Amino acid sequence: MTAVAAPTAGAGTYSDDELARDLRWWAAANYLTAAQIYLQANPLLREPLTPDHIKPRLLGHWGTSPGLTMVYALLNRLIRRTGQQTLLVVGPGHGGPAMLAGAYLDGTYSEVHPEVSQDLTGLVRFVRQFSTPGGVPSHAGVHIPGSIHEGGELGYALLHAAGAVFDDPDLLVACVIGDGEAETGPLAASWRLPAFLNPRRDGAVLPILHLNGYKISGPTVLGRSPDEDIRGYLRGQGWDPVVVAGDVPARVFVELDAALATAHARIREVQDRAHAGAAPDGVRWPAIVLRTPKGWTGPRTVDGVPVEGTHRAHQVPLARVREDPEHRAQLAGWLHSYRPEESFDEAGRLAPELAALAPSDDLRLSASPRAGGPRFRVRPLPLPDLADYALAVPSPGAVRHETTRPLGELLRDVLTRTGRTDGGGDFRLFCPDETNSNRLGAVFQATDRCSMLPVQPGDESIGPDGRVMEVLSEHLCEGWLEGYTLTGRHGLFATYEAFAMVGASMIVQHAKWLQQAATEPDRSPVPSLNVLLTSTTWRNDHNGFSHQGPGLIDTVAPLSPDVVRIWFPPDANSTLVVAEECLRSRGRVNLIVVDKQQHLQYLDLEAARTLVSSGAAVWEWAGTEEPDRNRSDLPDVVLAAAGDVPTLEVLAAAQLLRDHVPHLRIRVVDVVDLMGLLPPGEHPAALDPERFADLFTDTVDVVFAFHGHPRAIHPLVHGRPDVDRFHVRGFTEHGTTTTPFDMVVLNRMSRYDLVLEALRRSRRVPEGGDTLARLCREQLRRHREHVVEALEDLPEVRDWTWEAEQR
Amino acid sequence: MTAVAAPTAGAGTYSDDELARDLRWWAAANYLTAAQIYLQANPLLREPLTPDHIKPRLLGHWGTSPGLTMVYALLNRLIRRTGQQTLLVVGPGHGGPAMLAGAYLDGTYSEVHPEVSQDLTGLVRFVRQFSTPGGVPSHAGVHIPGSIHEGGELGYALLHAAGAVFDDPDLLVACVIGDGEAETGPLAASWRLPAFLNPRRDGAVLPILHLNGYKISGPTVLGRSPDEDIRGYLRGQGWDPVVVAGDVPARVFVELDAALATAHARIREVQDRAHAGAAPDGVRWPAIVLRTPKGWTGPRTVDGVPVEGTHRAHQVPLARVREDPEHRAQLAGWLHSYRPEESFDEAGRLAPELAALAPSDDLRLSASPRAGGPRFRVRPLPLPDLADYALAVPSPGAVRHETTRPLGELLRDVLTRTGRTDGGGDFRLFCPDETNSNRLGAVFQATDRCSMLPVQPGDESIGPDGRVMEVLSEHLCEGWLEGYTLTGRHGLFATYEAFAMVGASMIVQHAKWLQQAATEPDRSPVPSLNVLLTSTTWRNDHNGFSHQGPGLIDTVAPLSPDVVRIWFPPDANSTLVVAEECLRSRGRVNLIVVDKQQHLQYLDLEAARTLVSSGAAVWEWAGTEEPDRNRSDLPDVVLAAAGDVPTLEVLAAAQLLRDHVPHLRIRVVDVVDLMGLLPPGEHPAALDPERFADLFTDTVDVVFAFHGHPRAIHPLVHGRPDVDRFHVRGFTEHGTTTTPFDMVVLNRMSRYDLVLEALRRSRRVPEGGDTLARLCREQLRRHREHVVEALEDLPEVRDWTWEAEQR
């Protein structure tokens, strides 16, 4: 038996026997892929194919699958040879049946789902369930063991791969990127990974850019680009690509095997040198460009029209197999071409020599304990005691402070406690170049900004060992954090509120993943995706309208209630408590919305804990109700706030009411956990009816100042008693470069607007109300004049504060 | 006088005189830039600088500005020499004061805003108004003449530039891209423009990648990357970059001038050859990589710390000029270094030899009629008669048809009518490779998919003259269309509903632009941004949960009511009418939400026109009320729908009610213009109270089936009478790969769920109601069982239809 010499150094040899066995495994995987798309019975074609064996509705994507199964087969070989701990991220997630085939052939699928056994009965279930109502969906999603990536919405494969290898030096992620996905923005930006990947403390990503030339119905840009251009493109971003191309399976197998072996050896060499102390910059990481036909080994032509190697192989290449005997015969011929009888024995069990090709136990691509299976472990974050960071707040409003700064100090110590000697750890902060701007700069006492690029004199807090990931892309920050948490580590994404919308769709998709993960019996909960929205709408007065937008709240609120939480801590200590809650939580998307600027501080740590744990509270000290009143004694009007600036305006409004109409019974409510407003049954955090009534009553009008778009409150309270009584002020899309106070006036959420609304909605017409209303209208008129006059005679436009009013 | 020989062929010569004058213009522009950031009086420093001359709050971004003014100066020179019609797109939009300085020096600013005159009085206003409440915002926004790009949210500069030159062969867009922006996803993907830019019929984009090395607080990836890598990166994507670097102004001016001249000559050569019939593929377009210091010519050090050439020059380099005499003295020195006394005469008028550097009239960068100024013209779309495309619908539900297909036929003829002989035109369709999938394939009878890459045998409808822009990036589709409409042309972006969220933030920013544009006296309305959301949530049953998401509705609904409209045509003919309305409209963001699959058709063209023009209508034929009833005769319950699938389910529910409880008075309402639900005063499309009551009454309960998240209806109806009575069903984030009917059951919006809710909410308990309720519960139970059983015994899972029920 001769051995095929691998063409590249380091690849070792690939004997004919080995090659033949891997090709047989590949045939079995391709068979199972096609069988899942077409068959509901007769899974090994033991009987002549009849219409009854065919699914009533054919769903699934064949085109990308044979390339994926080939990569799977050769990664198995690489792992067998090297023991390399490996994950496979499949960008073309449409190729779900290929990944299911791999997991089934690995044996993992049957271990996780014993009813899908390794025999004929199991095989029937295996092919039936695919893309069938009540069965399993068609993408490489959370239901496939070993997957950390769905690949439904394209663009995030390389980001998830990167997030997975950060701080995991023993891990290799092979990441298949389709040429369709390569046209997306997030993917295009994610090629910059080498600028952020440290061979001394991180694992490695091996991108496999799989060019099969076509999207759904047209050619791809990269598919039609010359190799030289693609090489230059990737080299220019820190990769050292090699092209593997062909359509003769055995040749492509040999060449791809050699490319994988060379790449792996090169990665180990880079890492070994880094561990030995070599300077980590200037590394070029291996990458593979793989050109194979779309729908490879499938029908060459259908009804006389070319299919293999064209966009027509994208989904179901033979569509009318139930109705059309010729199509059916062609399908039978296609399926038989994989010789299922040589792969599976009489009982439907995989031939032992093929089963032996799966790596052992945890090394199987489908069984990695990094990918969320039953052996997945999350180390709880070693959070320090919040008391060490809390501001002393002797009485509400007595202190002004940058609200996010104590959080930065907490994060600093979390970074220290989670650090390793090689620079790695299990906590990272992700931020589009705004860590300092967002007042979290204390973290730089513990670690640097991560960069593998040359450091220059005068650089501050930048270096290869940094665990603060600053890149001017919300997509990269979000996607890296997703990959990091999906593999069991912790993090926070801190970003300007308005530009958090850039990654909105990623958050939606991640929430869907978490929602589905909770229903998979073998998946343990992963750390939550924590997003800090700061530099908020109300305090981007210096940057203007493009920087003012609370839209992410509208995006996240309607997602699965079991996943999403939106927090509005009113001050620094409540921000600490919320952050602790979020960093400890699992399986959630937490939005924390709080501004970074100097704000009044209201709560000491204990009060903050009480507020956060109850979700919302009456602030007795700010209202005028008797402390020892009966539950049935109702206020005349309720003032409520969610958010820091709304809280300030509500408190100032309450002060005006206290001073001018002291007999009016007003109640002030502060809401920190927005989802508590939803009626019971709609969200786990929903306040029960009694608690809701204790806050808002069941009948009294509520003037609500909200951080986001005002109408966002109405969908939450719908289902609560008499919701017509909720009168909400918030951001009505009026903004520009101006002062903070002008912002609340422009959007009619100022203290004066709130007082006027409260007087209008109060159950009683209070004595002195008219005078107060006149005063408020006068203040608003003066403010308007003042702004208009400012251009003529530019005094400092006053930024009214609550204390200023108190004086 | 000696002439400096330009180092590159085609650049001509740059005489010392010319250079000196351009440097003086540059100094004047830099002076005005810094003056805007700092001064509120004494604009030409005729008096010693005192604290009173300084603005109370210093806002603005100096760092990027000197590079922008240099580009401005040299583009002026290029235009003077060549007469090239040119736009400048400024990615680093923070450099707004630089663009304002340019527009002021051009004279355009004073033409548009006569109160900001070309004298001392005008200069005071000019510097005061910048970043001042009541003044002008700080970015390169819609308020700056000549701007089509704000640059607040980074990533879209090259997309807007591309959109502007499509089909405009005489136009050059110089596009400055900051090295921060270059890290974003959308920008990274947009480098692929050469694959889509046709030199025979399109204009040219000249990217100027401006590397000043720093973001807000850290270095940039490209700033630290070697030239060779950047060259390879850009060459690999179809550009032919040249690097210009330096910090000696005169040298950089000469080199950049030569680079611009060479690039321009090369562009003209490429275009001339293409017009002469040369094959258009294989073109490499010029690009310039410009390395200059951040905050160039500003303070070198402040308080002993380096500022020029570092991230500290990003915003206001001297922060304490009001309080600190040393800072103030340094500011005075810095400002004087530009010698304002040589640029402006005693009266504050620009020196004539500098004023003469502005190109003439419309050739000024700030006065291009392409950029939305007063001489901007939009050619109305030549829309054909809808009657030629309308489906014959003899009675409601009598016909099934793919709803978007007639729209495709309409678009085909719009493409034909708007085409030019060189392949250009003024209408394009943008779509992420889904035109056929979205059933709009008829357009390929009129034009191709656009691609400059090699065409291969077997390719269908692809070529350089195509006006269907298919690229697998929602960012590119959206951004190109924005640039195309901002320069007065028309288009449609058709996309899968769920993945439209990818571009959500771009839509938000574009809506903000349109909202502000409407308040600028010199801006004419531009064609609307029309987004067709198809392959919708309800009918992505074949693709699964990642493809099921109506989130863009939640994003768009809270934006400026003067801008946004969301349409839910229930069938094909109403889709045609809505499309006509949207394509004719100006200054809006229109979302059209309708599925592409086979659906029942209800309305003939006339009925569709009636429905769309009224926004919502009672479908008498589907309810059980007497046609000649009094207005005061109320139904027992109202069934309402917005969206095609909700309409089907409501009609089927009404049928069940008619059949089983014929005495119940039910009313069926179909809503097509969602914004009509908002109360009067909240939206121009809001239905007046009488009309609203005619549809929904003021008191009767409404069971509402909605296409999107159900709670999205509540914020719209808040303010209408007694909104507790609205009971909405919609997409509650339950999805998978399944059948269309299972989708509505999973989300409790099925006909049976609607009947049960209607019976529960009806004012009367109808005879037969219990029986019907049992029947519905039984149907739901059977469906569940059926799905669960499907895996065991896989019959075709029935897709119930309304007719099936009718039988």
Interface touch A555/B504, C-beta < 8 Å: yes
Alpha carbon distance A245, A222 (integer Å): 14
Whether the predicted pLDDT of B458 surpasses 90 = no
Burial class (CB in 10 A: 0-12, 13-18, 19+), B795: exposed
Kindly report the number of other CB atoms within 10 A of residue A324's CB atom: 15
| Residue to substitute from A113, A153, A443, interface B, most B β-carbons within 10 A | A153
Q: What is the mean pLDDT of residues B693-704?
A: 97
Confidence of residue B790 (pLDDT cuts 50, 70, 90): low
Q: Residue B104: which residues within 8 A CB-CB, separation 6 or more?
A: B32, B110, B116, B126
| Two structure tokens written together for B596 | 């592409």
CA distance A82 to chain B (A): 33
**Domains in chain A, CATH or no CATH each:** 18-367 (3.40.50.970), 386-599 (3.40.50.970), 616-806 (3.40.50.920)
Kindly report the number of other CB atoms within 10 A of residue A785's CB atom: 10
Confidence of residue A581 (pLDDT cuts 50, 70, 90): very high
Interface touch A215/B796, C-beta < 8 Å: no
Q: Tell me the three state secondary structure of residue A533.
A: strand
The amino acid sitting at B445 is Q
Per-residue model confidence as pLDDT tens digits over B480-537? 999 999 999 999 999 999 999 999 999 999 999 999 999 998 899 999 999 999 999 9
Confidence of residue A678 (pLDDT cuts 50, 70, 90): very high
Confidence of residue B805 (pLDDT cuts 50, 70, 90): very low
Whether the predicted pLDDT of B735 surpasses 70 = yes
Alpha carbon distance B412, A533 (integer Å): 44
* Cβ-based contacts of B220 with chain A (< 8 Å): 472
* Cβ-based contacts of B675 with chain A (< 8 Å): none
* Cβ-based contacts of B460 with chain A (< 8 Å): 217-218
> What pLDDT was estimated at residue B788?
61
| Residue to substitute from A736, A783, A799, interface B, most B β-carbons within 10 A | A736
Alpha carbon distance A616, A594 (integer Å): 16
Listed residue (B470, B480, B474, B477) closest to B444, CA to CA: B470
Per-residue model confidence as pLDDT tens digits over B370-417? 998 888 999 999 999 999 999 999 999 889 999 999 999 999 999 999
| Residue to substitute from A294, A733, A798, interface B, most B β-carbons within 10 A | A733
Burial class (CB in 10 A: 0-12, 13-18, 19+), A349: middle
Whether the predicted pLDDT of A794 surpasses 60 = no
Higher pLDDT, residue B547 or B279? B547
Interaxial angle between packed helices B16-38 and B325-336, expressed in degrees from 0 to 180 and rounded to the nearest 10: 150
Residue listed under structure tokens 């801190």:
A494
> What pLDDT was estimated at residue B434?
84
Query: Please, are residues B668 and B623 in contact by the beta-carbon 8 Å criterion?
Result: yes
Interface touch B737/A183, C-beta < 8 Å: no
| Two structure tokens written together for A324 | 């059309």
> What pLDDT was estimated at residue A790?
55
CA distance A296 to chain B (A): 17
Confidence of residue A437 (pLDDT cuts 50, 70, 90): confident
Per-residue model confidence as pLDDT tens digits over A637-662? 999 999 999 999 999 999 999 999 99
Interface touch B542/A186, C-beta < 8 Å: no
Q: What is the mean pLDDT of residues B274-281?
A: 86
DSSP for B639-701, written as a single string: EEEESHHHHHHHHHHHHHHHHH-TTS-EEEEEESBGGGGSPTTS-TTPPPHHHHHHHH-SSS-
Q: What is the mean pLDDT of residues A172-191?
A: 98
Interface touch B504/A499, C-beta < 8 Å: no
Q: What is the mean pLDDT of residues B49-62?
A: 93
Q: What is the mean pLDDT of residues B622-649?
A: 94
> What pLDDT was estimated at residue B8?
45
Kindly report the number of other CB atoms within 10 A of residue A685's CB atom: 16
| Residue to substitute from B505, B713, B729, B785, interface A, most A β-carbons within 10 A | B505
Interface touch B139/A55, C-beta < 8 Å: no
Interface touch A709/B504, C-beta < 8 Å: no
Whether the predicted pLDDT of A799 surpasses 90 = no
Which uninterrupted H or E stretch holds B533? strand B529-534
Interface touch A133/B724, C-beta < 8 Å: no
| Two structure tokens written together for B683 | 């939206």
DSSP for B299-364, written as a single string: -SEETTEE-TTSGGGSS-S---TTT-HHHHHHHHHHHHTT-HHHHB-TTSPBPHHHHTTSPPGGGS
| Two structure tokens written together for A591 | 């939005």
Alpha carbon distance A86, A31 (integer Å): 25
Whether the predicted pLDDT of A80 surpasses 90 = yes
DSSP for B271-294, written as a single string: HHHHHTT---TT--EEEEEEE--T
> What pLDDT was estimated at residue B12?
58
* Cβ-based contacts of B152 with chain A (< 8 Å): 543-547
Q: What is the mean pLDDT of residues B270-293?
A: 92
Interface touch A183/B471, C-beta < 8 Å: yes
Whether the predicted pLDDT of A800 surpasses 50 = no
Task: Report the residue from B137, B141, B451 with minimal CB separation from A219.
Answer: B451
> What pLDDT was estimated at residue A785?
83
| Two structure tokens written together for A700 | 């009294």
CA distance A422 to chain B (A): 23
Question: Percent of chain A beyond pLDDT 90?
Answer: 87
Query: Please, are residues A291 and A211 in contact by the beta-carbon 8 Å criterion?
Result: yes
Task: Report the residue from A504, A724, A742 with minimal CB separation from B505.
Answer: A504
* CA-to-CA separations, B126 to A736, B24, B112, B115, B135, in angstroms, rounded: 17, 20, 13, 9, 9
Whether the predicted pLDDT of B798 surpasses 70 = no
Listed residue (A423, A420, A392) closest to A406, CA to CA: A392
| Residue to substitute from B718, B724, B748, interface A, most A β-carbons within 10 A | B718
Query: Please, are residues A740 and A731 in contact by the beta-carbon 8 Å criterion?
Result: no
- Is the four-CA dihedral A626, A629, A631, A636 of positive or negative sign? negative
| Two structure tokens written together for A437 | 């701007």
| Two structure tokens written together for B748 | 């409790």
Angle at A227 between CA A222 and CA A229, to 5 degrees: 75
Whether the predicted pLDDT of B806 surpasses 80 = no
Q: Where are the alpha helices (DSSP H) in A598-643?
A: 605-614
Helices (H) and strands (E) in chain A, counts: 25, 24
Task: Tally the C-alpha atoms within 13 A of residue A700's C-alpha that lie toward its C-beta.
Answer: 27
Per-residue model confidence as pLDDT tens digits over A534-551? 999 999 888 899 999 999
Q: What is the DSSP letter of B199?
A: T
Per-residue model confidence as pLDDT tens digits over A465-483? 999 999 999 999 999 999 9
Per-residue model confidence as pLDDT tens digits over B538-555? 998 888 999 999 999 999
Interface touch B221/A549, C-beta < 8 Å: no
Kindly report the number of other CB atoms within 10 A of residue B277's CB atom: 8
Whether the predicted pLDDT of B637 surpasses 90 = yes
Whether the predicted pLDDT of A412 surpasses 80 = yes
| Residue to substitute from B314, B437, B501, interface A, most A β-carbons within 10 A | B501
* Cβ-based contacts of B218 with chain A (< 8 Å): 433, 449, 451, 459-460, 462, 470
* Cβ-based contacts of A718 with chain B (< 8 Å): 711, 714, 723-724, 726
Alpha carbon distance A515, B736 (integer Å): 12
> What pLDDT was estimated at residue B5?
39
Interface touch A555/B559, C-beta < 8 Å: no
**Mean pLDDT rounded to a whole number for chain B:** 94
> What pLDDT was estimated at residue B4?
41
* CA-to-CA separations, A385 to A411, A527, A579, B588, in angstroms, rounded: 12, 20, 12, 52
> What pLDDT was estimated at residue B794?
39
Task: Report the residue from B133, B505, B716 with minimal CB separation from A797.
Answer: B133
Whether the predicted pLDDT of A804 surpasses 50 = no
Listed residue (B592, B53, B14, B650) closest to B322, CA to CA: B53
DSSP for A739-807, written as a single string: -HHHHHHHTT-SHHHHHHHHHHH-SS--TTHHHHHHHHHHHHHHHHHHHHHHTTS-PPPP---HHHHH-
Per-residue model confidence as pLDDT tens digits over A514-529? 999 999 988 999 999 9
Query: Please, are residues A571 and A599 in contact by the beta-carbon 8 Å criterion?
Result: yes
* Cβ-based contacts of B555 with chain A (< 8 Å): 501, 504, 551, 554-555
Lowest average pLDDT, out of B2-16, B490-504, B562-576, goes to: B2-16
Alpha carbon distance A498, A478 (integer Å): 15
Query: Please, are residues B700 and B666 in contact by the beta-carbon 8 Å criterion?
Result: no
Query: Please, are residues B78 and B10 in contact by the beta-carbon 8 Å criterion?
Result: no
Task: Report the residue from A516, A545, A714 with minimal CB separation from B714.
Answer: A714
Listed residue (B205, B221, B95) closest to B159, CA to CA: B205
Interface touch A133/B453, C-beta < 8 Å: no
* Cβ-based contacts of A56 with chain B (< 8 Å): 794-797
Taking CA–CA distances from A152, the nearest residue in chain B reads B546
Query: Please, are residues B706 and B536 in contact by the beta-carbon 8 Å criterion?
Result: no
Q: Where are the alpha helices (DSSP H) in A593-739?
A: 605-614, 644-660, 689-696, 713-717
Q: Tell me the three state secondary structure of residue A488.
A: coil
Per-residue model confidence as pLDDT tens digits over B122-144? 999 999 999 988 899 999 999 99
Query: Please, are residues A531 and A507 in contact by the beta-carbon 8 Å criterion?
Result: yes
Interface touch A236/B221, C-beta < 8 Å: no
Interface touch B554/A559, C-beta < 8 Å: no
Interface touch A180/B472, C-beta < 8 Å: yes
Interface touch B185/A183, C-beta < 8 Å: no
Per-residue model confidence as pLDDT tens digits over B71-114? 999 999 999 999 999 999 999 989 999 999 999 999 999 999 99
* CA-to-CA separations, B596 to A320, B401, B538, in angstroms, rounded: 21, 9, 11
Per-residue model confidence as pLDDT tens digits over A213-250? 998 889 999 999 999 999 999 999 999 999 999 999 99
Q: What is the mean pLDDT of residues B437-449?
A: 94
Interface touch B141/A546, C-beta < 8 Å: yes
Alpha carbon distance A568, A56 (integer Å): 50
Whether the predicted pLDDT of A383 surpasses 70 = yes
Q: Tell me the three state secondary structure of residue B171.
A: strand
Interface touch B153/A502, C-beta < 8 Å: yes
Query: Please, are residues B521 and B473 in contact by the beta-carbon 8 Å criterion?
Result: no
**pTM score of the predicted model:** 0.96
Pairs of CB atoms within 8 A across A/B = 401
Interface touch B502/A505, C-beta < 8 Å: yes
Per-residue model confidence as pLDDT tens digits over A663-672? 999 999 999 9
